Amino acid sequence: MNIMFRSTRGSKNYVTASQAIVKGIAEDGGLYVPENIPHIDFPLEEITKWSYKELAYNVLKLILTDYTGDELKYCIDSAYDEKFDTELIAPLASVGDNNFLELFHGRTIAFKDMALSILPYLLKTAAVKNGVKENIVILTATSGDTGKAALEGFADVEGTQIIVFFPEDGVSDVQKAQMVTQQGENTCVVGIRGNFDDAQTAVKKIFTDNELKAELKEKGYVFSSANSINIGRLAPQIVYYFYAYAQMVKAGRLSMGDKINFTVPTGNFGNILAGYYAGKMGLPVNRLICASNDNKVLYDFFRTGKYDINREFTVTVSPSMDILISSNLERLLYHLSNSDRTKTVMSELSSKGSYEFGIEDEFTGEYATIPETFKAIHDLFAETGYVMDTHTAVAKASYDKYLAETKDNTPNVIVSTASPYKFAKDVLKAIDGKYDNVDAFKALEVLSEVSGTEIPSPIKGIDKREVLHKTVIDRDALREFVKNKLN
Ligand SMILES: *Cc1c(COP(=O)(O)O)cnc(C)c1O
């Protein structure tokens, strides 16, 4: 079946998957969604026999239907190779009663690698298929992890340029060091005085700025996005929900065909939405537990039906989830209603910062405060020696609350989104208060000693690398910056 994509906000313009990937965002400011979500065309039992790559192929070919089999195989083979430190790509770690799907074995040690190691290939292939002659400029707003993963993915990819905006004071020291030391002729990294929402909103605005787009088109540039607003980010994320299920069955923690829960540490709602798509495609998903930190807009939304960003923005120890405007929620709203309704609530969100939308489905909102997050890291390490990063710990603490509340004993997988080394300073502090004053880079060594694990090679000696990107700008200066940069 051929799947076409349309905007969540209603324009009747249908595009192919490859066109949606090149464009990144629809012209009306909406996000591309599949007109219908395809169902798997293989018996579910098959997934236990497949490697990650085989599974990726069998899932992606159902969604990205205008790519040929050879094109998809090329993209998948190029993405999921030695860049990952395990052949499993996304191993399941069963620790006591918990199951962690470890999505941090790629080059930037966070889950963004799962999609951003394939997106550049999907995009390059899409550009050729659609006769795009212009240079593709990837504009990316990051809460810390997307930026680095996108930079690694696109560095020195011919025909592309990448500009990354990150909140100057809103990312961890390791995250910042990873980005500002990025090599590659076509890379550009810029700090902004503002938070992630400021960066994301400004970038989205540029995508729909027809004047700027026309001007740059003349100079030979078109924009695209590496954020999870790009359907090319979302589709590859569906794969690992099937993969987690297969590993749970193989580990004897689940019977084939039975239902499963996933608990997902959530920011922009991309990761968990991929789990929702996996369920619609035929994976037996019972509940999706959406875990938030103190910026618990989504928790309140799933509990009350009101999405409201009129609140204090809190900087937490899980910075990649410090988000009030979760872009991909728009896709869920579309699937649960229609484009007219979605358009209305999105305009309410931008005019008054809130909207109401009754939700009855498989999502449950939970959240964890900073002390709860620290306690989760501390306790699990004390009991088992397993170290979670701060984001995964938000999910673990949230799942424990869910369990206490519901007594739902459906087998559960906690989606683990980053290596503890990426947030070593806070992780150590959680393990033992005596590490409170350890410097962020020294913390890597200390964590290695304390946990008996090795510092992942991508961040070994990161503080000694040369800083190549030093620009910092005001949050309302993004447009000017992009314009001047490409002139
Ligand atoms: C991006 C990120 C998240 C949030 O994922 P979304 O898809 O934005 O919901 C959670 N944890 C880590 C470590 C991340 O990098």
Average pLDDT over residues 122-146: 93
The protein residue whose alpha carbon is closest to atom 1 in ligand 1 is: 320
**By CB neighbour count within 10 A (0-12 exposed, 13-18 middle, 19+ buried), where does 114 fall?**
buried
Ligand 1 pocket: which of 102, 103, 113, 145 to mutate (most atoms within 8 A of CB): 145
pLDDT > 80? residue 11: no
Residues 6+ apart with CB under 8 A from 221: 134, 135, 136, 137, 161, 486
Q: Which residues of 467-479 are buried (b: 16+ CB within 10 A; e: fewer)?
A: eebeeebebeebe
CA 97, chain centre distance (Å):
26
Pairing type for strands 187-193 and 472-474 reads parallel
Provide the pLDDT for residue 144. 83
pLDDT at 380 exceeding the cut of 90: yes
Nearest Cα residue to atom 14 of ligand 1: 320
Mutate to test the pocket of ligand 1, among 417, 423, 426 (most ligand atoms within 8 A of CB): 417
Q: Is 321 in the pocket of ligand 1 (CB under 6 A)?
A: yes
How far does residue 271's CA lie from ligand 1's centre (Å)? 7
Q: How far is ligand 1, taken at its centre, from the CA of residue 102, in Å?
A: 13
Catalytic residues: 112
CA of 216 to the centre of ligand 1 (A): 31
- Ligand 1 within 6 A of 110 CB? yes
pLDDT of residue 221: 95
Q: Give the ligand 1 atom nearest the CA of 111.
A: 15
CB-ligand 1 contact for 266 (6 Å cutoff): yes
pLDDT at 172 over 90: no
pLDDT band at 208 (very low <50, low <70, confident <90, very high): confident
Ligand 1 lined by 112 (C-beta under 6 Å): yes
Say if residue 100's pLDDT is above 80: yes
Q: Does position 348 have pLDDT exceeding 80, yes or no? A: yes
pLDDT the model gives residue 238:
98
Q: What is the pLDDT, as a whole number, of residue 361?
A: 81
Cα(219) to ligand 1 centroid in Å equals 35
CA of 220 to the centre of ligand 1 (A): 33
Asked whether residue 360 carries a pLDDT value surpassing 80, the answer given is no
288 CA from centroid of ligand 1 (Å)? 15
Domain boundaries, the chain: 92-109+232-456
pTM summary value: 0.95
The reported pLDDT for the residue numbered 114 is 97
User: In whole numbers, what is the pLDDT of the chain averaged over residues?
Assistant: 95
Residue 324 confidence (pLDDT): 94
In short, whether 295's Cβ falls inside 6 Å of ligand 1 is: no
Q: How far apart are CA 146 and CA 218, in angstroms?
A: 29
Backbone CA torsion sign across 216, 221, 224, 226: negative
Residue 433: is its pLDDT beyond 80? yes
Count of other CB atoms within 10 angstroms of residue 189: 25
* Span 211-258, pLDDT tens digits: 999 999 999 999 998 988 999 999 999 999 999 999 999 999 999 999
Q: Is the minimum distance from the CB of 416 to ligand 1 under 6 angstroms?
A: no
Nearest to 322 by CA among 202, 199, 234: 199
Cβ of residue 270 lying under 6 Å from some atom of ligand 1: yes
Is the domain 92-109+232-456 a CATH 3.40.50.1100 member? yes
